[in-house]
Amino acid sequence: MCSLPVLLAVFYIVIMTPLMGRKNGYTVDATPSFQLTRAIVATGDWFPPEKVKQGYVYSLVYIPFYAAGQVLEAWLPSPEPDWIPRKCLCWMNTVLTGLTVGLLAGVLGRLGYSPGAQAFVPLAYGFSTLAFAYARYDYNKCLAALLLLSAFSYAVIYLVNKNPRAVIGCGVAMGLLVTVRLEMAAAGVALFGVIALNTDRWAARRNTALAFWLPIGLGIGWVLLYNRIYWGSDLTGGYEWNFQWNPFPALQGFFFSPGKNIWFYNPVLLLLPLVVRAFRQRHPAVSGMWLGMLAAFLGVYSFWGNWWGGWAWGPRHLVPLLPLAVIPLAAVVDGGSRELKLLLVILAAAGWFIQFLGGYTDFNNIILTLMNQGVTEVELIWNPVWNPIVNHSRFLPYIPIQEWDYGWIGLYQFAPAAVFWALLILWCGTAAGLGYLIHKAVRRAE
């Protein structure tokens, strides 16, 4: 019998695969990642002339998905050459988010939460937060989220069991993370601080520090070397590196701006102020590490010149912290009042609808349409009239269903009817079967 985390991961991947976007690309930064992978596979040269922005490891992870896309392209009709392999870059993020959902269930289990909480909170994360949107696209945020949660998971194992091998796993996860997003090394300070405080002997602290920081140092060294060779710089790596000295506009934007605040796009997080105290009382060391990692993230991106993430759905830079952010919500499932539990369900449903609005059409199209009418990017962030969620709802009546950006719509239009209905029935049956197994696993464990 499969464990609950495995069932949740497979369930999420099955549900989300035909809900991917129909376009084969959504961000210009992902195109070099695709080109690098294609060059590696085609030439066998692991360091071809193609270059990417902090994304070499992202391109390596993509290799098996690219290879699967080549196999599919050999016997499926494709709109254009490389369309299916390129589309598999989006599917990779679907799989990575599914793995994050499963890992999140495992973390909650290690923290002692009930099977019901282990099921509900990860699914709320996967379907009602920005994780839903970015699981359909080709940004590298999904890989960053998985690696960050992996580092946190290993740290929890160490705090619970004092297993020194867990520190190595934590360091390796953070080392891989910095090769994807260098600035996320800031989270390592909070991680190691709590690990060191919970290590008694000086010799053990020294060994712990070596096991933790050595992989991170190697990851940072790799990024600096890659940037020096391919971009002629140490840190920027092709980005217009720009920090601002005043963090308050970004903090105000993250929490209160009409267009980019974290609450509008992830309504379940509105309950965090009500549950953090209970989370801290139950897990003093883990909660300190949790809060430190979130603070490190907000600190880094509050000084980031492009704190809002440019053309994207919601505050893009904060997507990797979402699996961490939802963890205290398990306290609502296990010990909250009936009213609080009902509110959590309502907020999760609202979040699902918001993600639907963000996905039924490519957000780039809405932004481009508004900017062609004279709306500036600053207004999209700060003017309530141009709130993206509101405008996606306004455009909804004018975009025919056959143009919605969901895989099922495209399959209905281009596949033979028999094939479409057979796949739809198979999908519904598989999802229902997995849902039953999840329900059964929860009931059996309780």
Q: What is the pTM of this model?
A: 0.94
Mean pLDDT of 284-312: 90
Residues 351-371: what's their mean pLDDT? 93
- 237-290 pLDDT, tens digit each: 556 556 788 899 999 999 999 999 999 999 999 999 999 998 999 998 899 999
High-pLDDT (> 90) share of the chain, %:
67
- Examine the pLDDT at 183 and tell me if it is beyond 90: no
pLDDT of residue 290: 94
Q: What is the 3 state secondary structure string of 190-246?
A: HHHHHHHHCCCCHHHHHHHHHHHHHHHHHHHHHHHHHHHHHCCCCCCCCCCCCECCC
- The answer, yes or no, to whether residue 355 has pLDDT greater than 60, is yes
Percentage of the chain exceeding pLDDT 70: 97
Torsion of CA 53, 250, 301, 145, to 10 degrees: -90
- Dist. CA 155–CA 195, nearest whole Å: 7
Most confident of 26-35, 232-241, 262-271: 262-271
Contact present, 121 and 8 (Cβ < 8 Å)? no
Q: Residue 379: exposed, middle, or buried by beta-carbon count in 10 A (0-12, 13-18, 19+)?
A: middle
Question: What does the pLDDT look like over 145-162, one tens digit per residue?
Answer: 999 999 999 999 998 888
Q: What is the largest CA-CA distance in the chain?
A: 68
Give residue 20's pLDDT: 92
| Stretch 118-132: mean pLDDT | 97
How crowded is the C-beta side of 186, counted as CA atoms within 13 Å? 17
- How large is the C-alpha radius of gyration of the chain? 22
pLDDT at residue 215 above 70? yes
Mean per-residue pLDDT for 302-310? 87
- Return the SS3 of 130: helix
Q: Using CA atoms, how far apart are residues 87 and 94, in angstroms rounded to an integer?
A: 11
The per-residue pLDDT for 392 is: 95
Give which of 430, 384, 345 is closest to 17, Cα–Cα: 430
Listed residue (321, 350, 322, 344) closest to 331, CA to CA: 344
Q: How many CB atoms lie within 10 A of CB 77?
A: 9
**Cα–Cα separations (whole angstroms), residue 68 to 71, 92, 143:** 5, 11, 19
β-partners of residue 243 are 304
What pLDDT, on the 0 to 100 scale, is given for residue 230? 78
Judged against a pLDDT cut of 70, whether residue 233 lies above it is answered with no
Alpha-helical (H) ranges within 129-185 are: 130-134, 141-161, 164-180
Q: What is the DSSP letter of 366?
A: H
* Long-range pairs, 247-250, Cβ under 8 A, ≥24: 247/299, 247/302, 247/303, 248/302, 249/307, 250/301, 250/302, 250/303, 250/304, 250/307, 250/308
Q: Is 128 exposed, middle or buried (0-12, 13-18, 19+ CB in 10 A)?
A: buried
Name which of 365, 361, 358 is nearest 388 in CA terms. 358
Beta bridge partners of 80: none
State the distance between the two ends of the chain, measured CA to CA, in whole angstroms: 16
* Contact in structure between 124 and 270 (CB atoms under 8 Å): no
pLDDT at 56: 86
231 pLDDT band, cuts 50/70/90, is: confident
Which pairs from 30-35 meet CB under 8 Å and 24+ separation? 30/89, 30/138, 30/139, 30/140, 33/58, 33/59, 33/62, 33/89, 33/138, 33/140, 34/59, 34/62, 34/66, 34/85, 34/86, 34/89
- Residues 395-442 have pLDDT tens digits of 999 999 999 999 999 888 888 899 999 999 999 999 999 999 999 999
- Secondary structure of residue 80 in the 3-state scheme: coil
pLDDT for residue 1 is more than 70: no
Beta bridge partners of 304: 243
Find the DSSP H helices in 303-387.
Answer: 322-325, 330-335, 338-359, 363-372, 377-382
Per residue in 80-123, pLDDT tens? 788 889 999 999 999 999 999 999 999 999 999 999 999 999 99
Cα 134 to Cα 322: distance, rounded to the nearest angstrom = 12
Q: Is the Cβ–Cβ distance between 290 and 303 less than 8 Å?
A: no
| Residue 196 CB neighbours (<10 A) | 13
Contact 327, 121 (CB under 8 A): yes
Using alpha carbons, select from 302, 289, 44, 74 the residue that is nearest to residue 189.
289
Quote the CA–CA distance of 138 and 125 in Å, as a whole number.
Answer: 19
Rounded to an integer, the average pLDDT of 50-72 is 88
Q: What is the pLDDT of residue 439?
A: 94
| 15 has pLDDT over 80 | yes
Q: Is the pLDDT of residue 6 over 70?
A: yes
- Rounded average pLDDT over 124-142: 94
Asked if pLDDT for residue 236 goes beyond 70, the answer is: no
Average pLDDT, the chain: 90
Which H or E run includes 75?
A: helix 56-75
- Backbone φ and ψ of 29, nearest 5°: -70, -20
Residue 7: per-residue pLDDT: 97
Mean pLDDT (whole number) for 213-234: 85
Mean pLDDT across 318-346: 93
